[in-house]
Amino acid sequence: MNSKIWLSSPHMGGKEQDFINEAFDTNWVAPLGPNVTGFEIDLENFLGEDVQIAALSSGTAALHLALIQLGVNAGDEVICQSFTFSASANPIVYLGAIPIFVDSEPDTWNMCPVALEEAIMDRISKGKYPKAIIPVHLYGMPAKIDEILSVANQYNIPVLEDSAEALGSQYKGRACGTFGKFAALSFNGNKIITTSGGGALVCQTKAEKEKTVFLATQARDNAPHYQHSEIGYNYRLSNISAGIGRGQMLVLDKHIKLRQKMHDFYADFFKNIDGVNVFSEPNSNFSSNHWLTCILIDQSIVGKNREDLRLALEKENIESRPLWKPMHMQPVFEKYPYYGGKICEKLFENGLCLPSGSNLTDDDRNRILAVFNRFFKY
Mean pLDDT over all residues of the chain? Answer: 97
pLDDT at residue 96, as a whole number: 98
Q: Is the dihedral of CA 233, 235, 240, 243 positive or negative?
A: negative
Q: For residue 338, how far is the Cα from the chain centroid?
A: 21
| Structural contact between residues 185 and 23, judged by C-beta atoms closer than 8 angstroms | no
Task: Compute the distance between CA of residue 130 and CA of residue 132 in angstroms, rounded to an integer.
Answer: 6
Task: Compute the distance between CA of residue 220 and CA of residue 231 in angstroms, rounded to an integer.
Answer: 9
The whole model's pTM is what? Answer: 0.97
CA angle 363, 369, 268 (to 5 degrees): 110
Give the residue-averaged pLDDT of 336-359: 98
Give the residue-averaged pLDDT of 276-281: 98
- Close Cβ partners of 5 (under 8 Å, ≥ 6 residues apart): 317, 318, 319, 355, 360, 364, 367, 368
Task: Compute the distance between CA of residue 30 and CA of residue 27 in angstroms, rounded to an integer.
Answer: 8
Q: Is the dihedral of CA 215, 221, 222, 227 positive or negative?
A: negative
pLDDT at residue 11, as a whole number: 96
Ordered structural domains, the chain, with CATH: 16-251 (3.40.640.10), 253-376 (3.90.1150.10)
Task: Compute the distance between CA of residue 65 and CA of residue 297 in angstroms, rounded to an integer.
Answer: 39
**pLDDT tier, 378 (very low <50, low <70, confident <90, very high otherwise):** low
- Condensed to tens digits (0 to 9), the pLDDT of residues 170-223 reads 999 999 999 999 999 999 999 999 999 999 999 999 999 999 999 999 999 999
Q: Are strands 182-186 and 321-322 parallel, antiparallel or unpaired?
A: unpaired
| Widest CA span in the chain | 72
Task: Compute the distance between CA of residue 205 and CA of residue 316 in angstroms, rounded to an integer.
Answer: 50
User: For a pLDDT cut of 90, what percent of the chain falls above it?
Assistant: 98
Bridge partner list, 100:
79
Give the residue-averaged pLDDT of 227-232: 96
- Condensed to tens digits (0 to 9), the pLDDT of residues 247-273 reads 999 999 999 999 999 999 999 999 999
Q: Phi first, then psi: what are they for 292, rounded to 5°?
A: -125, 135
